[in-house]
Amino acid sequence: MTDAKSRYGAADVRYVAAFQPESAPARLRLALAMADTWWNPPDPERMTVLDIGCGRGLSACLLAAANPGWDVIGLDLQPVHIEEAREVARQGGIDNARFIEADLAELTEVNSPDLLPELDVVICHGVWSWVPDPVRDGIVRMLKSRLKPGGVILLGYNALPGYADTLHFQRLVDEAARSLPGDDAQRGLAAIEAIVALREQAPLYLPEPRVLEHIVNAARNAPAYMVHEWLTSFWRPAYHADVARALVPARLEYGGTARPAGSMPELQLNPEQRAALAAAPAGIARETLLDTFLARRFRTDIFIRGRRPGGRALLGPTMLALTAPADRTKIEIVTPSGTLELKPPQRDALLEALSDGPKTIAELADLPACATLNHIDIALMLVESQAAEPLWRAPRHDPADNARLARCCDSLLRHFAPEASAMRAPIGVPIAAMGSALPVGASELALCGALLSGLPPDPVVLSRHLARPQGDEDARARAETGIAQVLEGLLPTWRAMGILP
Ligand SMILES: C[S@@+](CC[C@H](N)C(=O)[O-])C[C@H]1O[C@@H](n2cnc3c(N)ncnc32)[C@H](O)[C@@H]1O
């Protein structure tokens, strides 16, 4: 076992490149506001953000590109990740992103200030439930030393009891993989397939077929993801209550969830379940109790250093922009008791108002048709149905900004497009108004990059620019039609976000 492998089971395997939309600062602020937690950084243009376990740096690069006044730092154990992240940033002209190779377990309250400035936001996604105690302790020491009062951390982790059905499965896979031949990916896949085959004999302690099918498909499509997800003896999904307790030394309190709709008793539970919840013994933490009822396998908790109530007041001024043309947009959320859908006239009034350009939640609530909707209803329905995104700053059309973002898209395409296309996984296009990125596939990203570089939204021009030179006339015509269709979906958002005049 290498030194690094004693800290992280997949330390020798390069991870897949992944962007976490929940890390968008505007989404964090909105989610916290919905939980009535106050988080409103005094200078939104000057923030310091750290992504721990940043992998290949995609999220950090997108945040840095969208916020040129920020200092964005990625930290990871694996040199292969850090080297690539630095290259993506350098080639993309993203000079406010920097990457540090370090082992979180070695961070102390004394050495953290040598390595890191004071932080406004920390992203820790997909790390906590895969690492041993010394790494978790290092994370807490670093947070205690570096997170500013009022600073926040987004902590995404495999949660209990939601993940309990895979505890025994993971144990068997990890043990089986040790005796199998091949590299980590080959051993992992063979182990998973061997354990899944046990399902035929109706074992008591394997997940249901639907869950196993999902695991096998993901393992086949993305072997690196599978190795990081399953092949480690440190793998431990965590109870929210235990995570909250572990963060107490860093003076962190639970502020809310980055996925509010999936966590709201009013949406997710029937009246009898809500009554049972209210009657449960007071000693059990509310979130742990809620997790007994909700299908939350992965939690995206936001903790804050010093929680102040009053965040709901920030909902009214929050600006929302449409992410797709109004006529293709449904405003609906799926809940266990059925689909909750905004119907006309409320839906039409909201979409019509937003088609004109971004609006604040207060402006939308003032629409006559929306008199019965409060600020939370509007935020929840529009954002959680992915009809709209909260903005971090007012959109402005600036060709110099666009040229900078185009260079970033170019670098992302060069590094991540083949892999993203093969896995059918999104990359992301940085958008200044969002202070973050919209997840898009590789071909959409190429199109976005071309528009950002100043090409007109004309399918003929864009297809000449993007299509391979050897394409014949038929291929070119197909490309033009495809581009025209994508543009139709993209342009309203593009204009709302200020990217096109
Ligand atoms: C499952 S990946 C998640 C990557 C990314 N945050 C995401 O969610 O897509 C976990 C990452 O944490 C890093 N990591 C694990 N242990 C670490 C440690 N002790 N110090 C620093 N980084 C670590 C790994 O190298 C890997 O890139």
DSSP line for 403-445? HHHHHHHHHHHHHHHHHHHHHT----EEEGGGTEEE---HHHH
CA of residue 103 to ligand 1 center, whole Å: 10
The whole-angstrom separation of Cα 210 and Cα 222 is 18
Please list, in sequence order, all residues whose beta carbon lies within 8 angstroms of the beta carbon of residue 328, skipping any fewer than 6 positions away. 489
Provide the CA 52 distance to its chain's centre, in angstroms.
14
Handedness of CA 130, 135, 138, 140 (dihedral sign): positive
> Which residue has its alpha carbon closest to ligand 1 atom 4?
55
Tokens 């850090």 locate to 82
Compute mean pLDDT per 10 residues along the chain, 501 residues long, and list them.
77 90 97 97 97 97 98 97 98 98 97 98 97 97 98 98 95 95 94 94 93 93 92 94 97 96 89 91 87 93 98 98 89 87 93 95 97 96 94 94 96 94 90 95 93 93 79 81 90 87 80
Identify the DSSP state of 60: H
Q: Which atom of ligand 1 is nearest to the CA of 7?
A: 19
Antiparallel, parallel or unpaired: β 359-360 and 319-322 = antiparallel
Helix axes 442-452, 399-423, angle to 10 degrees: 170
Pocket test for ligand 1, best of 22, 76, 184, 225 (most atoms within 8 A of CB): 76
pLDDT for residue 495: 87
Specify the 3-state DSSP secondary structure of 201.
Answer: helix
Say what the pLDDT of residue 489 is: 86
The rounded Å distance from CA 60 to ligand 1 centre is: 13
Q: Whose CA is nearest to atom 17 of ligand 1?
A: 77
Domain formed by 4-160+237-310, architecture: 3-Layer(aba) Sandwich (3.40)
- Tell me how far the alpha carbon of residue 54 lies from the centroid of ligand 1, in angstroms: 6
Among 58, 77, 230, which is best to mutate for testing ligand 1, by the most ligand atoms less than 8 A from CB?
Answer: 77
Task: Report the alpha-carbon distance of residue 316 to residue 360 in Å, rounded.
Answer: 6
* Ligand 1 mean position, distance from CA 144 (Å): 20
From the CA of 10, how far away is ligand 1's center (Å)?
A: 9
Query: What pLDDT was estimated at residue 469?
Result: 58
Q: What per-residue confidence (pLDDT) applies to 338?
A: 85
C-alpha pair distances (Å), 266 with each of 38, 165, 255, 290, 370: 22, 26, 19, 12, 20
102 Cα: distance to centroid of ligand 1 (angstroms): 11
Ligand 1 atom closest to residue 135's alpha carbon, by position in its atom list: 19
pLDDT score, position 468? 64
**pLDDT for res 492:** 85
128 C-alpha to ligand 1 centroid (Å): 9
For 256, residues 6+ apart whose C-beta sits below 8 A from its C-beta are 31, 32, 34, 35, 37, 302
Q: Which atom of ligand 1 is nearest to the CA of 105?
A: 19
**Cβ 312 vs Cβ 287: under 8 Å:** no
Q: How far is the CA of 76 from the centre of ligand 1 (A)?
A: 6
Ligand 1 site residues (CB inside 6 A) read 7-8, 15, 18, 20, 53-55, 76-78, 81, 103-105, 125-127, 130-131, 135, 228
How many angstroms is it from 497 CA to the middle of ligand 1? 32
Could you give the angle at the alpha carbon of 449 between the alpha carbons of 23 and 63, nearest 5°?
A: 20
Element (H, E) at 338: strand 338-341
Ligand 1 mutation target, pool 2, 6, 7, 8, most atoms within 8 A of CB: 8
Omega of the bond prior to 469 within 30 degrees of 0, cis?
Answer: no
Ligand 1 mean position, distance from CA 85 (Å): 13
Which amino acid type is present at position 47? Answer: M
- 325 and 333 in contact (C-beta within 8 Å)? no
Ligand 1: nearest atom to the Cα of 229 = 1
